[in-house]
Every structure is written in C-alpha cells, then in structure tokens.
A and B are shown apart, each in its own frame.
Chain A
Amino acid sequence: MESVIRGAAVYFLLLVIMRFSGRRTLAEITPFDFVLMLIIAETTQQALLGDDFSITNAFVLIVTLIGVDIGLSYLKRWSPTAARLLEGVPTVLVRNGKMDRRAMHRARIEESEILAAARLRQGLHSMDDIDHAVLENDSGISVIPKRR
C-alpha cells in the first residue's frame, strides 16, 4: 500500500509543480535544462523507492504511475475543465499579424523566440510574414504564415 501512496503522491506533486512552473519551463531544452531534468528524475526516484529496491516495489510503482496516467487521460476526455487544468489551453501570441504583448509577457515568451520558431518551422524572414503564432500545450510555438 505504501508504494501505491508514494507513487500517486509523487505523480501528483510533480504534476502540480510542472504545471505551475509554467509552459516555458523545460520547453525548449537547452543542455542545462536536460541536466536539470536528470536531477529531478534522480531526486524523484529516491522519493519513490525509499529503501526498498525490490522488483515487487518497482513493479507496483510502475503500474501505479501508468495507472494514474491512464486514469487522468480518461478524466481529460470526459471533463473539459479537467483537461484545461491538467494540460492548459493554447495561447495566441500573434493574432492577424499583431503581437499580443500581454500574452507574451504572461507566458514569458520573447519576440525573438517567435521569430526563431518562424524561421525554423516555416522559413519566414520577419514578423511581417507571420499571420498567427500560438504557444501550444506541449510548449512548442506553432507559426502560421501570411497568405501571399
């Protein structure tokens, strides 16, 4: 029972921390972000396992984590509110070629990041070429070019 409680507690704790840390965190992975992720994983592992390194404990924890994840995916399908809480909603950063400065500020997105996404994904030159830019739930920035 203790393993199930540990697994579920760590899952929800990580979910809350990651959700509230903001969409920018760990979005564009830099080498340091990668190291940070490894440290978080290592720290979490210790909290999950405690002193019990048995296969049974590992199995119980894996099944618990995957079970909670599956359960939440169904919850998100059934409840739009739960989906918004757990995953967030896309944020329009550029609308009809005009930057939404407030949304960019609140989502901690710089103009240079939108331009970088425009260059990388659409081969666009400048902000004038962007019709819409959206910060997606997966932290990526999608860019829709203006129609020529």
Chain B
Amino acid sequence: MTQAKKVAGGLQISEDRSWQEKFWTAQRVAWAVMALFILAAIAGLTGKGGPLASATARMGDAVVDYPAITRWQSDEQVQFHLADSDPDRVDILLSPHFVHLFAINSIEPEPSEVKATGAGHRFTFETEAGARGRTITFDVRAQKPAIAQRIQAAVGNRPAAELKITVLP
C-alpha cells in the first residue's frame, strides 16, 4: 500500500497532490469521452435506433432495410420491400454469412420453400403479383459479435446487394 506521510499539522496521510491533479484532469477527459459516447449512441453508433444504426440497400427497384449496427443477442428486423414489377413468386437469396451471423426467429410471410444452396439460403415466397407495398420481414437475432461483416442479399434475378453489418458485443 501507499506509504502514509506526515503533512503539515501532523496529519499522517498518503496524500499525493501532483498525482491527484493528474487524476482530476484524466477524470475530466473521461467525462468528455462519456459525453461523446452518449452522442455516438444517439447517432446510432451503438445500435438500436439512431440514424446510423440502420441502412438501406437497393437492388434495382427492390429495397432492403437492415441493421447496419446491432448488438449481440438483440432482436432486429431485416425488411425486403419488393418492387411492383416483381412476380407473384419471389426468391430471396441470403449468403451463408447471414445464417452464421443471425438466428432467424420468424419470417413474415412464411416462405413456401427454403433451400440451402451453395450460394446461401434461398427463400421462396408466394405473393400477389403487382400488389403495392409487398414487404417480407425477417425477425433475426445476432448470434456473435462481428465487425463490418459483408452479407450478400438478392431479390429475384437482380444482382446481389452487399449488406455491411456490425454486431457489437
């Protein structure tokens, strides 16, 4: 333990003023870091809400909304918004990284068919052709932390979009 020294007045105490001054300064810096952390959280850099927490990728006129930053073991949604021109039978292909990173809790509407292929999982959905606002929602839960994991997602025959997802521990 720190040696207790005598200071003026006969008080035996392990006071170290220069160290204390340095610590007070470090403390103020830590408060500034905490304030920045709160601002980062509001901006969405810690996931779960905020403008930077979610992202959108486009595959032609189809769109996917997904969590760009999420947290380990927290529930999220990946939503595919189909284009009006999509047929009644629509395939969504998700690369193998997706099922390694996320557990799929539920899919709304449920796919009529799921096939494991070399390129990933292919989900087939029956929808009403030409209907507006067709959305397919995957309720998922992150299974492990990951930094900027790149996941390929494709709707129908369109070229795949790249989803960049970070899972915080």
Contact = CB atoms under 8 A, between A and B. Distances in A.
Interface of A: 17, 20, 22, 50-51, 76-77, 80, 83-84, 88-92, 95-96, 103, 106-107, 131-132, 134, 144
Contacts of B27: 20, 22
Contacts of B13: 90, 92, 134
Contact of A134 (B11, B19, B20): B11
B24 A106 contact: yes
Given A20-B31, A84-B2, A89-B19, A95 B7 contact: yes
B119 interface: no
B110 interface: no
11 contacts: A20-B26, A20-B27, A84-B2, A84-B19, A88-B20, A91-B15, A95-B7, A106-B24, A107-B24, A134-B11, A134-B13
A15 to B, nearest CB: 12
Contact of B11 (A17, A83, A92): A92
Given A92-B7, A92-B11, A131-B9, A83 B1 contact: yes
Interface in B9-24: 9, 11, 13-16, 19-21, 23-24
Given A20-B26, A83-B2, A89 B8 contact: no
A80 B4 CA distance: 11
Contact of B20 (A22, A50, A91): A91
A84 B31 CA distance: 20
Contacts of A131: 9
A17 B1 CA distance: 23
B15 A50 contact: no
Given A84-B19, A91-B20, A106-B24, 8 more contacts: A51-B73, A77-B1, A89-B14, A90-B14, A96-B8, A107-B24, A132-B11, A134-B11
B120 to A, nearest CB: 27
B157 interface: no
B92 to A, nearest CB: 28
A46 to B, nearest CB: 10
A52 B10 CA distance: 55
B9 A95 contact: yes
B116 interface: no
Contacts of B14: 89-90
Contacts of A106: 20-21, 24
B3 interface: yes
